[in-house]
Structure 1
Amino acid sequence: MRHLLKLLLLVPFLSFAQAETPAQANKKLFDRTIDELNFRTFETVYDKHFTRQKFPASLRTAAARRDFTSFDNNTELQKLFLNYNGVAERYKT
């Protein structure tokens, strides 16, 4: 019984020791916010430029957006997207 009581008292401290610090949690939230903002920006520009196509919802990460090449031979728009993606990633470092 005594060991069970000790175990019950130590369990909350073990889970607290493994928890994120507020700075780590804020950094993760900031990075997710940048990814979402980039996705929404890309989606708006792409959807207005290509009225019959939609920007894929699967491109929520910078790596996925970097590999995206469906710009119908519009190299200027592709370059704009790649530059925007690269600049935005600098904020996450």
Structure 2
Amino acid sequence: MSDNENAGRRDLRMPDDDEEFAVVQDMLGANRVKVRCADGVERTARIPGRMQKRIWIREGDVVLVEPWDWQDEKADVTWRYEKSEADQLREEGHIA
């Protein structure tokens, strides 16, 4: 890559082994959101207390979620990407 192509690129947080990309579909209230995960499963995701006051999550946001081991239809939100970061992930083919 030339410097011009790489100029706007940032190193983004990528999912760990137990995390995956998801897009927020709906706000459910009570610190919960409905997300569509990269594996095609729709899950109810919980926004943990450490994120509630600091990070605003809206419909259409790209987030990282960690699906629960014992209940596959639920997950925890672990990270939210800014719009520019989500655009970069789409350009690089990480998310659809």
TM range (shorter): under 0.3
TM-score by length of 1: 0.24
- The structure with the largest strand share of the pair is 2
- The structure with the largest helix share of the pair is 1
Structure label with greater radius of gyration: 1
